[in-house]
Amino acid sequence: MDTADLKPEDPEDGGGATRAVRKQGQNGSVSRRLILDMAAALFSHQGFTETTVRQIAAKVGMQAGSVYYHFESKEQMLGEILSIAVRSTYMAVKGSVESLPIEATPKDKIKAAIRAHLQSLHGNFDYTATNVKYQGQVPNVVERAVQPDRESYTEYWNQLIAAAAAAGELSPDLNLPFLRPLILGSLNRTINWYDPGRGDIETLVRTVLVLFDGLWSRAEAAGSEGGGST
Amino acid sequence: MDTADLKPEDPEDGGGATRAVRKQGQNGSVSRRLILDMAAALFSHQGFTETTVRQIAAKVGMQAGSVYYHFESKEQMLGEILSIAVRSTYMAVKGSVESLPIEATPKDKIKAAIRAHLQSLHGNFDYTATNVKYQGQVPNVVERAVQPDRESYTEYWNQLIAAAAAAGELSPDLNLPFLRPLILGSLNRTINWYDPGRGDIETLVRTVLVLFDGLWSRAEAAGSEGGGST
Amino acid sequence: MDTADLKPEDPEDGGGATRAVRKQGQNGSVSRRLILDMAAALFSHQGFTETTVRQIAAKVGMQAGSVYYHFESKEQMLGEILSIAVRSTYMAVKGSVESLPIEATPKDKIKAAIRAHLQSLHGNFDYTATNVKYQGQVPNVVERAVQPDRESYTEYWNQLIAAAAAAGELSPDLNLPFLRPLILGSLNRTINWYDPGRGDIETLVRTVLVLFDGLWSRAEAAGSEGGGST
Amino acid sequence: MDTADLKPEDPEDGGGATRAVRKQGQNGSVSRRLILDMAAALFSHQGFTETTVRQIAAKVGMQAGSVYYHFESKEQMLGEILSIAVRSTYMAVKGSVESLPIEATPKDKIKAAIRAHLQSLHGNFDYTATNVKYQGQVPNVVERAVQPDRESYTEYWNQLIAAAAAAGELSPDLNLPFLRPLILGSLNRTINWYDPGRGDIETLVRTVLVLFDGLWSRAEAAGSEGGGST
DNA sequence: AATGAATGAGCCTTCATTCAT
DNA sequence: CATGAATGAAGGCTCATTCAT
């Protein structure tokens, strides 16, 4: 599957074997989030395996061993990063779609979703890039942990598309099973090449919406997208 | 940049001091290519760093040390795999485009290129997947070696697009600088999710061509592509 | 050149990227010096290349990997051992010479230097033996690091000899450029054969001083050496 | 012990386990000696362990495997090199001493021996340097093989010295057991530092003889050495 | 004689992880 | 909370050596 999920942060500790049971209220201590940020920055640029716990610790200003007070393992860090990435994008997209006016058509919703997805992607680069680049190559344990998040988001898109199809808004020449992964894959891949030098995100959004014009059934004219969410 | 190149053989030795001096070329002992195949299979599924030379050797049925009779380093293997991936796709695309009838328009050429790219991608999965998934995270030495190949292919696409633009065939609403990476990125990303269970490659090609219908300027009707090249 | 230097601590870090940053200096955790001692013992008896980091670690009672918490590389260990060897001998010699009475002649000084050199050599066998035996076959990186130390000591001897020559105390039949390396070489080579069973160090010193009697110009009688420093 | 032996070349194969039983008459095939020469050159400059069989083969212009047609092992090569070194020096020294006029005193003989030793040392640098530098750090198997050669030469010097002592020609202040190793050690160590730039071998010889003037009992005047043998 | 290809043991080094303080 | 020190399992790579051709 090719997605990137989201959803709010819930406890989800999992009960580590050792300590690393942080006693925080419901969020992570400052250090915890800081570590995650640094890890995400490193993972997204060098890759997970290529990143050393020592490097992460160094960027935070602590010793490698200290990291283990906050996390059970390097993999756990990755898992949390992926979850955050997926959930935050999910929330952004969902929020954007739901804030559309009542009259919004499925087509409008998909357009809004595309915009929100791209914005979230590039707005949380370190996290989402880690997610996108490692799609499918993540250690099993971790993958299993993020899977539910991924599926939620995936399912959300499936519904958006199904609704459009039901409304007859989608071009009949499209092979539906390919649609969601094709769209999300195209968007996600921008992580690999997007460079502000070529144009800003909004321009990217517009170009994508134009390029994807074949999505829509010929009944309607080319759509001038409008719902700038987020 | 987001591409996958090709082109004939470059020097690119690396100047090893010891053995492993013969190498690619058109000969390449049987073992050599076999090793490369196994390495590509492993790299594309587990990632470069996650793959052990011992694993590669095991798949070939030899000892880890023996691999070093054929290659100077694990990185050199990666380099050759990437080159093969990029070059073979380039040649496939170029060949496909050039075999179009004289009357072929730039639009026809781009469509043929898209089809050939997708076919090459999924027809040499292990090699191209290694290339696509590692885009931008490849060790410097290796990246430097493949760069020329990448650029050649990139440039080829730039020309295809420029020609279409010059011919007024492209939608004026598109931000040109985004176009090539967006298209190639979308195609390349299929490596991450395409599954024959959802439909065959030709169906994928058709869906992509429909989806990308927004590429073309509204002067013409939506194009039902036809020229199955390659 | 054939020498064995000494002198105070130089920068000479090497700039490791990871840990093992603290190092020499005046602290040096207990382990650190212990490792060095064991390494020197092994190096001096088996040679650098022939000695395994695992062997060193075993002698210290730790795991091979643990050694790398204290040193960046096996070569770094060698470098420090050589430096210690050279510097300690230098200091011993210099100290000995400087503690001679004011009236001491250049000849007296050379004699004292010979005695101190031999004493230091055999008093820190593992370190100095490593240095002497590896003279000229040390890895480049290491050699470069110790070079300044070597040169300081060499220079010190050059001055001692020059002073004696200026005072007309040296036999005119000697080819000066050969003198220092010849003397130091003779002394250093004792590392390869000296065995307490044949006589103690002081006896060795006296024999050397007698043997080298040709050093002195015939104006004076054979010298009964006196300045027993250290 | 600190020596360097000699003696004519005798079969001394040893009966290898594999092949490498060369069928030559009584000397080695051309290749054989060539390989030895290259090995000696490499060993003397980089050290035994640091030298690769592949390097040796490369200098000879053959493949690593081919070397094993001529030698059973790298160690065997070293053994032969050491033997050659020791024997050739022995022969040179012995020949030089024996060619002295009948009236030659023990003192004359020792002087001639010193000269011949130095000449042989520097006249067969690659071989003798390998021997001198590796004194005492040679693999057991090899050491055992060369030991007889070393002892012969050592014994020869012992006799020269004993004769001089018996003749009352040696200074009574010398500790006899130190004498031979001290002298030979001094001479051998020149291998580590001698550089034609500082003066030629003959000058070196003269300087050594002057320096060692303390050898002789004061009954006689300082000796101006004369018997330039070889 | 010589080579190409492979073996297998071992080496240096890295790194996630642990744990007493 | 944090650190210093150590562990132990691997991993990439080297190299003497073998052997069929």
Q: In the structure encoding, which two tokens stand for residue C79, read together? A: 């470098």
Q: 4-63 in A: which are within 8 Å (CB) of B?
A: 46-47, 49-50
Q: Which has more pLDDT, C200 or D2?
A: C200
pLDDT at A89 over 60: yes
Using the structure, give the distance in angstroms from the CA atom of A80 to the C1' atom of F20, rounded to a whole number.
56
A64: nearest nucleotide, CA–C1' criterion: F3
Name beta bridge partners: D53: none
B219 falls in which pLDDT band (50, 70, 90)? low
CA distance A28 to chain B (A): 30
pLDDT at B67 over 80: yes
Say which CATH class C30-215 falls into: mainly alpha
- Report the alpha-carbon angle D101-D107-D113, nearest 5: 75
Helical pair B106-123 and B74-98, crossing angle rounded to 10 deg:
140
pLDDT at A24 over 90: no
Q: Of all residues in chain A, what percent carry a pLDDT higher than 70?
A: 83
Q: Which of A178, A189, A193 sits opposite B207 (nearest CB)?
A: A178
What is the per-residue pLDDT across D171-229, written as a single tens digit (0 to 9) for each?
999 999 999 999 999 999 999 999 999 999 999 999 999 999 998 988 654 444 444 33
Q: Find tokens 């590796």 and name the residue.
A: D134
Residue D222, pLDDT score: 46
pLDDT at A114 over 60: yes
Euclidean distance between CA atoms C120 and C36, whole angstroms: 18
CA distances to C59, C82, C153 from C132, in Å: 23, 9, 14
Residues in B closer than 8 angstroms to A212, CB to CB, are 211-212, 214
**Which sequence spans correspond to the domains of chain A?**
30-215
CA distance D182 to chain C (A): 7
pLDDT at A131 over 90: yes
> What number is the average pLDDT over the span D89-115?
97
Residues in D closer than 8 angstroms to C208, CB to CB, are 182
Residue at C124: amino acid letter: N
What is the per-residue pLDDT across C59-77, written as a single tens digit (0 to 9) for each?
999 999 999 999 999 999 9
Would the CB atoms of A173 and B210 count as touching at under 8 Å?
yes
C229 falls in which pLDDT band (50, 70, 90)? very low
Q: Which has more pLDDT, A122 or D24?
A: A122
Residue at shortest CA–C1' distance from E3: D63
B74: nearest nucleotide, CA–C1' criterion: F12
Residue at shortest CA–C1' distance from F19: D65
DSSP characters over C126-151: HHHHHHHHHTTTS-HHHHHHHHHHHH
CA distances to C44, C230, D38, D67, D87 from D34, in Å: 32, 52, 6, 11, 19
Provide the mean pLDDT of chain B.
86
What is the per-residue pLDDT across B72-120, written as a single tens digit (0 to 9) for each?
999 999 999 999 999 999 999 999 999 999 999 999 999 999 999 999 9
What is the per-residue pLDDT across D163-184, written as a single tens digit (0 to 9) for each?
999 999 999 999 999 999 999 9
Task: Give the distance, in angstroms, between the CA of residue C195 and the centroid of all CA atoms in the same chain.
Answer: 18
Q: Does B213 touch chain A (CB under 8 A)?
A: yes
Physical contact, D and C (3 or more Cβ pairs within 8 A): yes
Residue A128, pLDDT score: 97
Residue D109, pLDDT score: 97
pLDDT at B13 over 90: no
Residues in D closer than 8 angstroms to C209, CB to CB, are 214
C18: nearest nucleotide, CA–C1' criterion: E14
pLDDT at D161 over 70: yes
pLDDT at A223 over 90: no
B75: nearest nucleotide, CA–C1' criterion: F12
> What number is the average pLDDT over the span C79-91?
97
D66 falls in which pLDDT band (50, 70, 90)? very high
User: For chains A and B, what is the number of CB pairs under 8 angstroms?
Assistant: 130
Q: Does B64 touch chain A (CB under 8 A)?
A: no
CA distance A48 to chain B (A): 10
Candidate from A126-130, B222-226, C97-101 with smallest mean pLDDT: B222-226
Residue at shortest CA–C1' distance from E2: D66
Euclidean distance between CA atoms C7 and C110, whole angstroms: 19
